Structure 1
Amino acid sequence: MPTPTIAALASGFGWHVTDLLRAAELLGVRLEVAPFPEVSARVGGGPARVGAGKIDLTGLDGVLVRMMPPGTLEQVVFRMDALHRVAAAGVPVWNPPRAIEAAVDKYLTLATLDQHGIAVPATWVGQSAEDALRAFEELGGDVVIKPLFGSEGRGILRVSDREIAWRSVHALERLGAVLYLQRFVRHPGHDVRAFVLRGRVLAAMRRSATGGEWRTNVSLGGRAEPARLDRAADRLALAAAQAIGAEVAGVDLVEDLDRDELVVLEVNAVPGWKALSAVTKVDAAAAILEALRDQAR
């Protein structure tokens, strides 16, 4: 049987790419690292092709989107178009383009989850600073302002003062940013990241804020420890991943103490696993490549 070949679309050789290369050698999989900025396509005048450098993505056994680097609107749209074309050629793409599109946009993520009856925090999204200030009051005067795109807790601000809210939303309006305000969820000081792979929770970790920081992200100094999900949390994580169509996802769950319910904060369709593997001892890289290899067969 020929050695399966999978491409990891990335923007460099960081820790995750190195871990995937290790796992690929362990599994007997050939892993090609394909830089996202080198993605190109050809249509007409011969066979259609989507490639990255010298790698023909439409001729592989699978494509794993490891990182979606920043870019202009045109670049991002083209990259997604290219992924759609690779998937249409019959190559398994993880995550599927539709799932990445749904998860990269925080509003679309929450709207999709809400449409499927999944509990999410009260959130307002718009373009007017004056409308945002009214939403600030309606959301209880204690909100988290987030960028529409972004991850790892970067660029988010908790605001409970109206004057600071006024300055923040007007500054964002001047920048032409979409205004995203979410009611601050009073929680027990921790949340849970569930790592979902093909319809099961592969592993989970509890992330606790430290040093007076309200954000729990490990990248911002949060403390991580293994977590065992109860049946309700497990079902919620799986439902969230299924709602956006993700084969692999990082689902963030938090207990809303004011409403006495578990809610989904975000779904990451390009999730990292460095902290998760460290605390749970689960080889996430090997599990992902093995599952993708098996689907290709």
Structure 2
Amino acid sequence: MRIALLSGGNGWHVRDLQRAATTRGHQSTVVDFEKLSAAVVIGAKPFSEFDAIIVRTMPAGSLEQVVFRMDLLHQAQDRGLCVLNPPRALETCIDKYLASAKLEFAGLLVPPTIVCQTAEDALAAFEQLGGDVVVKPLFGAEGRGMMRISDRELAWRTFRTLERTGSVLYLQKFIAHPGWDLRVFVLDGRVLAGMKRFSLNDWRTNVAQGGRVEAIEVEPPLTRTAIAAAQTCSAVASGVDLLLGPDGRWYVIEVNAVPGWRALAPATGIDVASSIIECLEQRLR
């Protein structure tokens, strides 16, 4: 099998996938997302030299650049390549509003969320959500750009600044939690592994923001929730973040379609990269 690793560089996850691919007898090539091109001619097939694509990043860019990159992935999938994750999953999970809306429509519990475009509407949403909110960039990952705001004056200044930069204002009610959340790695309709992530002097529990982790056995109700969340977002490989609220209910916070496992693998002893390559093997049989 010839695998394209779509990435912005040769980071740890790319190297781990290369190791796993080589161990299982496959060829892998790192392809820079920003250097992709395409020809529209009879018989043209994007990524024709590959059998499968693993997407490890979705770099920032202009609207035209992002749309073109997704178009290429759609064309590759339509013409028979196995793309992981599928382009529809990437489009859904990268867009926090779309993901939240789909999850809620599917009957999964998500934090109360309001998305708007003006500072005035955002301030009204701030009040409606109880005056304690998490403001997130519509597109973003690893906890970057997230702010918890519980002061009305600070909220107004923040919303005005975001409006001036042309940002969509995405507000979620802050869900008080016990200082940890769960990351469940779902692969091809099953739970591969799970870990508990603890916050470190912060309300955020994201490992990229300095949290510590420990392996867990994912209980059946949460297994069903995580799998349902992944399937709702059309994701084959995903990291589903679950948060226990003060009311004893579990909230789906996010479905990550480019999930990391640098902390998960050593914590659980599971070779996640090898499992991903095996998933591709099964899908190409």
Instruction: Give TM-score scaled by structure 1 length.
Output: 0.94
SS of residue in 1 equivalent to 2:270: coil
C-alpha distance in 2 between matches for 1:28 and 1:71: 35
Deviations 1:84-120 (A, max 9, x none): 0000001111111111000000000000101111110
Deviations 1:118-174 (A, max 9, x none): 110000101010111011011010000000000111100000010110111011011
Alignment of 1:198-237 (within 5 A): 198-210=188-200, 212-237=201-226
Deviation for aligned residue 1:198: 0.2
| Count of residues in correspondence between the two structures | 285
**Aligned partner (choices 34, 38, 49) of residue 45 of structure 2:** 49
Write the letter of the residue equivalent to 2:271.
Answer: D
Q: What amino acid is the match of 1:239?
A: A
Q: Matched residue of 1:188: which SS?
A: coil
Aligned 1:1-297 pairs, distance under 5 A: 4-44=1-41, 46-50=42-46, 57-210=47-200, 212-257=201-246, 259-297=247-285
Q: What is the CA distance between 1:72 and its match in structure 2? A: 1.0
Moved over 4 A (4+): none
Q: Aligned to 1:251, what secondary structure does the other structure show?
A: strand
CA contact 2:2–2:49 (8 Å) conserved in 1: no
Q: For residues 109 and 58 of structure 1, what CA distance do their matches in structure 2 show?
A: 31
Contact 1:61 1:293 in 2 (8 A): no
Give the match's secondary structure for 2:10: coil
What runs of 5+ residues in structure 2 fail to find an aligned partner? none
For residues 83 and 218 of structure 1, what CA distance do their matches in structure 2 show? 29
Aligned residue for 1:112, secondary structure, equals helix
Q: Is the 1:62–1:293 Cα contact (8 Å) retained in structure 2?
A: no
SS of residue matched to 1:278: helix
Q: CA deviation at 1:221?
A: 0.9
80-89 or 24-33, larger mean C-alpha shift: 24-33
Contact 1:159 1:165 in 2 (8 A): yes
Question: 1: CA distance between counterparts of 2:27 and 2:281?
Answer: 10
Question: Offset at 1:58?
Answer: 3.2
* Unaligned ranges ≥5, structure 1: 51-56
SS at 1:18's partner residue?
Answer: helix
Aligned 8 A contact 2:193 2:268 in 1:
yes
Q: Distance between the aligned counterparts of 1:87 and 1:58, measured in 2?
A: 11
Name the SS of the counterpart of 2:97 in structure 1.
helix
Question: Is the Cα contact below 8 Å between 2:45 and 2:79 reproduced in 1?
Answer: no
Could you tell me which amino acid in structure 2 is paired with residue 262 of structure 1? Answer: W
Amino acid at match of 1:103: C
| Amino acid of the structure 2 residue aligned with 1:260 | G
Aligned Cα root-mean-square deviation (Å): 0.9
Secondary structure, aligned partner of 1:149: coil
| Preserved CA contact (<8 Å) 1:204 1:229 | yes
* Aligned-pair CA distance for 1:188: 1.0
Displacement of 1:59 after TM fit?
A: 4.1
SS at match of 1:289: helix
The residue type equivalent to 1:245 in the other structure is S
SS at match of 1:167: helix
Q: Distance in 2 between matches of 1:121 and 1:49?
A: 42
